[in-house]
Amino acid sequence: MSTATAKAATAEISTDAHPTLKEVDRPANLTSENAPAWGSDVIAETLRDLKIPYIALNPGASYRGLHDSIVNFLGNEMPQMLLCLHEEVAVSIAHGYAKVTGKAMAAAVHSNVGLFHATMAFFNAWCDRMPVVVLGATGPVDAAKRRPWIDWIHTARDQGAIVRDFTKWDDQPASPAASREALLRGTWIANTAPMGPVYINFDAELQENKLVEPLAPIDPARYMPPPETAPSPEMVKKAVALLKGAKNPVILCGRVSRSMDGWNQRVALAEALNAKVITELKIGASFPTDHPLHAAVPGGSAIPPDAQAAVKAADVILNLDWVDLGGVFKVTFGDAMPKAKVISVTNDFRIHRGWSMDYQGLPVVDVLLPVTPDEAVPELNKALGVTVKPYQPKPLPKRDKPDLSSGKLVVNDLVRALKFACGDRDVTLSHISLSWDGATWPFRHPLDYVGSEGGGGVGGGPGNAVGAALALKGSGRLSVAVCGDGDFMMANTAVWTAAHYKIPLLIVVANNRSFFNDELHQERVARIRSRPPENRWIGQRISEPDIDIASLARSQGAQGFGPVFKQGDLVSTFQKAIAAVEAGNVAVVDVRVEPGYSAVATAAMLRGTEKN
Ligand SMILES: Cc1ncc(C[n+]2csc(CCOP(=O)(O)OP(=O)(O)O)c2C)c(N)n1
Ligand SMILES: [Mg+2]
Query: By CB neighbour count within 10 A (0-12 exposed, 13-18 middle, 19+ buried), where does 178 fall?
Result: middle
User: Residue 374: CB within 6 Å of ligand 1?
Assistant: no
Kindly list the distances between the CA atom of residue 246 and the CA atoms of 204, 370, 590, in Å, as whole numbers in the listed order: 61, 22, 49
Q: Are the beta carbons of 548 and 563 closer than 8 angstroms?
A: yes
Q: Are the beta carbons of 200 and 136 closer than 8 angstroms?
A: yes
The larger pLDDT score, comparing residue 478 to residue 300, is at 478
Average pLDDT in the 548-576 region?
98
Single-letter amino acid code for the residue at 296: A
Q: For 349-370, how does the pLDDT look when each residue is reduced to its tens digit (9 = 90+)? A: 999 999 999 999 999 999 999 9
Q: Are the beta carbons of 464 and 457 closer than 8 angstroms?
A: no
Average pLDDT in the 87-98 region?
98
Confidence band for 4, pLDDT divided at 50, 70 and 90: very low
Average pLDDT in the 259-268 region?
98
Closest listed ligand to the CA of 513: 2
Give the residue whose CA is nearest to atom 5 of ligand 1. Answer: 458
User: Residue 456: CB within 6 Å of ligand 1?
Assistant: yes
pLDDT at 76 exceeding the cut of 90: yes
d(CA 494, CA 49): 28
Q: For 419-448, how does the pLDDT look when each residue is reduced to its tens digit (9 = 90+)? A: 999 999 999 999 999 889 899 999 999 999
pLDDT score of 300 = 87
Average pLDDT in the 136-151 region?
93
Q: How far does the centroid of ligand 1 lie from the alpha carbon of residue 456, in Å?
A: 8
pLDDT score of 611 = 55
User: Residue 561: CB within 6 Å of ligand 1?
Assistant: no
Residue 510 CA, closest ligand 1 atom number: 21
Average pLDDT in the 282-286 region?
97
Q: For 173-189, how does the pLDDT look when each residue is reduced to its tens digit (9 = 90+)? A: 999 999 999 999 999 99
Say which residues have a Cβ less than 8 Å from residue 414's Cβ, sequence separation at least 6.
Answer: 482, 508, 510, 570, 591, 593
Average pLDDT in the 51-61 region?
97
User: Residue 453: CB within 6 Å of ligand 1?
Assistant: no
User: Residue 433: CB within 6 Å of ligand 1?
Assistant: yes
Provide the mean pLDDT of the chain. Answer: 94
DSSP secondary-structure letter at 168? S
Q: What percent of the chain has a predicted confidence (pLDDT) above 70?
A: 98
Q: How far does the centroid of ligand 2 lie from the alpha carbon of residue 485, in Å?
A: 5
Q: Are the beta carbons of 231 and 371 closer than 8 angstroms?
A: yes
Q: For 127-143, how does the pLDDT look when each residue is reduced to its tens digit (9 = 90+)? A: 999 999 999 999 999 99
Q: For 234-246, how does the pLDDT look when each residue is reduced to its tens digit (9 = 90+)? A: 999 999 999 999 9
User: Residue 596: CB within 6 Å of ligand 1?
Assistant: no
pLDDT score of 208 = 97
Average pLDDT in the 278-292 region?
97
> How far is it between the farthest Cα atoms of the chain?
77
Q: Are the beta carbons of 53 and 78 closer than 8 angstroms?
A: yes
User: Residue 512: CB within 6 Å of ligand 1?
Assistant: yes
Q: How far does the centroid of ligand 1 lie from the alpha carbon of residue 486, in Å?
A: 6
Give the residue whose CA is nearest to atom 12 of ligand 1. Answer: 515
Give the residue whose CA is nearest to atom 20 of ligand 1. Answer: 516
pLDDT score of 10 = 44
Residue 542 CA, closest ligand 1 atom number: 16
Q: For 304-318, how does the pLDDT look when each residue is reduced to its tens digit (9 = 90+)? A: 899 999 999 999 999
Spatial strand order of the sheet with 249-253 comes to 276-278, 249-253, 316-320, 341-345, 367-369
d(CA 586, CA 241): 52
Q: How far does the centroid of ligand 1 lie from the alpha carbon of residue 419, in Å?
A: 24
d(CA 559, CA 506): 10
pLDDT score of 434 = 87
Q: Are the beta carbons of 423 and 269 closer than 8 angstroms?
A: no
Confidence band for 9, pLDDT divided at 50, 70 and 90: very low
d(CA 101, CA 258): 8
Single-letter amino acid code for the residue at 251: I
d(CA 580, CA 452): 25
Average pLDDT in the 213-224 region?
95
pLDDT score of 610 = 66
pLDDT at 396 exceeding the cut of 90: no
d(CA 69, CA 208): 10
Q: Are the beta carbons of 191 and 130 closer than 8 angstroms?
A: no
User: Residue 517: CB within 6 Å of ligand 1?
Assistant: yes
pLDDT score of 22 = 86
Would you mind telling me the total number of residues written for the chain in this entry? 612
User: Residue 542: CB within 6 Å of ligand 1?
Assistant: no
pLDDT at 11 exceeding the cut of 90: no
Q: What percent of the chain has a predicted confidence (pLDDT) above 90?
A: 90
Closest listed ligand to the CA of 487: 1
Pocket test for ligand 1, best of 434, 488, 543 (most atoms within 8 A of CB): 434
Give the residue whose CA is nearest to atom 9 of ligand 1. Answer: 517
Q: How far does the centroid of ligand 1 lie from the alpha carbon of residue 484, in Å?
A: 8
Give the residue whose CA is nearest to atom 11 of ligand 1. Answer: 515
d(CA 96, CA 463): 7
pLDDT at 478 exceeding the cut of 80: yes
Please work out, in degrees rounded to the nearest 5, the angle formed at the alpha carbon of residue 589 by the alpha carbons of 588 and 590.
Answer: 120
pLDDT score of 12 = 66
Helix (H, G, I), strand (E, B) or coil at 497: helix
User: Residue 514: CB within 6 Å of ligand 1?
Assistant: yes
d(CA 401, CA 396): 14
pLDDT score of 2 = 35
User: Residue 486: CB within 6 Å of ligand 1?
Assistant: yes
d(CA 579, CA 2): 43
Residue 490 CA, closest ligand 1 atom number: 1
